[in-house]
Amino acid sequence: MDKHTSTLERQLERARQLLDGSELSLAELGKAVGVSASHLQRQFSARYGLSPAEYLAQRKLGMLKSGLRDGHDVSAALYDAGYGSPSRVYEDGAARLGMTPARYRAGGAGEAIRWSVIDTALGRALVATTQRGICMVELGNEDAALEAKLRTEFPQAVLERVDAGRDEFLAPRVRAVADTLAGKHASVPVDLLGTAFQKRVWDALMKIPEGETRSYAELAAAVGSPRAARAVASACAHNRIAIVVPCHRVIRGDGSAGGYRWGLPLKQQLLQRERAA
């Protein structure tokens, strides 16, 4: 790393720290760290996968979600998170929270999710779907633990368990997931619930051909943020849809397996199976 790169890295990290504690405009942020606004915009986006404005928006959204989950009054949670008025977050609340702040505070009250736990080639799997597509495929050994994970994000959602996926809506989706987990080709409609950057990463994951892998850096380049390998790794770690969104196809630059939400032995098993096929 040359001296210029090292200085820029420190400036970008300082800019991120400032955004964590304050709400600065791009011009103010650039002046504070000694980088022009346009250069900061480009380099920050390349490094973190988000522009300074998007990073600030995600931080505020995270604070809002924490406040709502803790049971704070909606107005108080909005202002504590740094929203000057409720209008901005209500205008695009569905895009960011999946619902309005009031409904999010209620634990997703009224949201309809159908789900089932089934036996698959990889063991027990919970499959959950909204009207738009599969929103969660979770692997595990105990049904109770799988259900608990489903309820974590939206404990007041209308969760309808469908025995073995036996209804006209869920059954074909469960079969498609089971086929995918068995290594067969199947079309599985998905409902990707995450930030804009996470969705770009998850979309890119689904474009990696079976039997191939990409490094975190290569995936970062594929989504247009070549210096955001860490952000890509974080997006992979937050993938809720096991196997169908194939984060197991991402490895470290040195060829080692890296991390995997469902355990490295399964990741290695999946890669070996796909390469053999």
CA distance 157 to 185: 31
CA distance 59 to 51: 12
CA distance 182 to 122: 7
DSSP annotation of 238 reads T
CA distance 242 to 240: 6
β-bridge mates for residue 117, sequence order: 126
CA distance 181 to 242: 9
Which residues are part of the catalytic machinery? Answer: 247
CA distance 135 to 111: 12
